[in-house]
Amino acid sequence: MTSLPSRVILVDVGPRDGLQNEKQTVDAAVKIELVHRLQAAGLKEIEVTSFVSPKWVPQMADNAAVLAGITRPPGVRYSVLVPNMKGLDAALSAPRSEWPDEVVVFAAATEAFSQRNINCSITESVERFRPVVAAARERGIKVRGAISCALGCPYQGEVTADEVERVVRLIKEIGVEHCGIADTIGVGTPKRVQAAMERALKHYPLAEVSGHFHDTYGQAIGNVYAALEAGIATFDASVAGLGGCPYAKGATGNVATEDVLFLLNGLGIETGVSIDGLVDAAAYISGVLGRKPVSRVANALLAKRASTAS
């Protein structure tokens, strides 16, 4: 039996990856409250917003208000997504106390997705990130990279491990410190996950590789387990299973943080996150959005709460 990591870092990307895809406008005050509830549940890593073009993603136009409004307790780290220097400059235009701890740059494993998502080729995108990485690191801000469509592309279809490794090399070369393998459209299955992780691990240490799985085809929990077997101990997930990607039609949200936590708890893997606190956060944001969480675990636990309360 493979030994699994004894501790896992959960990065809740719901306030960014989740809410970037909402049709309805979500007030900055709600986003701020969501971040506060996530940290109250014990999450230590939260992707709070993105500094992308508001013409492309209007849902994140309140990025500065969100960063200014959240209160970061000691030990909690905030990340923001930035596509270029303009985004980094905007993220750092606030007082230093409000700066994110980490920025996330994102490149695609396929040319077609790169063009649709960020309007340029893979090489151009990496060249755009070069000064972002240098400027962020000079200021002591960590840089994480996300490789979109690493397990399948809505435009190209199949994606090979060679294509993934090509981008891993490119981001490593410009100084990106962490490599996230992202299944943007949720088509990955365990063996493919392990193949992609192996390629990332040729260039990055275990602690600097993570999985970011969308759950469109219901494979994400299996994929988290496959990645755990490969030793991966950092996962992005979205509270209540919020989200999708505006440039990947039909892609649903990230795997729900509650569902991943239930798996990890069952495996005896430490996270420091409270399932009850997380379900509270899921119930809160789902209530605001007027729908049930897209999380089996949240729905099961909320039903259990309702039945014991009645």
Question: How many chain residues are in contact with Mg ion, going by CB under 5 A?
Answer: 1
- End-to-end CA, the chain: 43
Q: What is the CA radius of gyration of the chain?
A: 18
Q: Work out what residue 106 binds among ligand HMG, Mg ion, none; the CB cut-off runs from 5 to 8 Å by kind.
A: ligand HMG
Q: Which amino acid is residue 307, in one-letter code?
A: S
Q: Does 152 bind ligand HMG (CB under 6 A)?
A: no
**Distance, CA of 19 to CA of 196 (rounded, Å):** 27
Measuring CA to CA, which residue among 1, 11, 3 is closest to residue 261?
11
Q: Work out what residue 285 binds among ligand HMG, Mg ion, none; the CB cut-off runs from 5 to 8 Å by kind.
A: none
Q: Does 217 bind ligand HMG (CB under 6 A)?
A: no
**Nearest-10 crossing angle of helices 257-266, 220-229:** 50
Q: For ligand HMG, which is the closer residue by CB, 67 or 283?
A: 67
* 71 Cβ neighbours under 8 A, 6+ residues apart: 36
Least distance to ligand HMG from the beta carbon of 125, Å?
8
**Distance, CA of 198 to CA of 204 (rounded, Å):** 10
Measuring CA to CA, which residue among 193, 213, 297 is closest to residue 255?
213
Contact with ligand HMG (CB under 6 A): which of 26, 32, 57, 161? 57
Q: Does 215 bind Mg ion (CB under 5 A)?
A: no
Three-state DSSP at 208 gives: helix
Locus of tokens 């409250």: 33
Measuring CA to CA, which residue among 217, 223, 259, 264 is closest to residue 241?
259
Contact with ligand HMG (CB under 6 A): which of 103, 118, 168, 263? 118
Least distance to ligand HMG from the beta carbon of 154, Å?
11
Please say if 245 is a catalytic residue. Answer: yes
Contact with ligand HMG (CB under 6 A): which of 53, 115, 156, 194? 53
Site for ligand HMG in 226-255 (CB under 6 A): 245-247
Q: For ligand HMG, which is the closer residue by CB, 64 or 201?
A: 64
Q: Work out what residue 271 binds among Mg ion, ligand HMG, none; the CB cut-off runs from 5 to 8 Å by kind.
A: none
The token duo for 296 is 């089996």
Q: Could you give phi then psi for residue 242, rounded to 5 degrees?
A: -60, 150
Contact with Mg ion (CB under 5 A): which of 17, 102, 258, 259? 17
Least distance to ligand HMG from the beta carbon of 169, Å?
18
- The contact set with ligand HMG (CB under 6 A) reads 17, 20, 50-57, 81, 83-84, 86-87, 90, 106, 117-119, 146, 148, 182, 184, 212, 214, 245-247
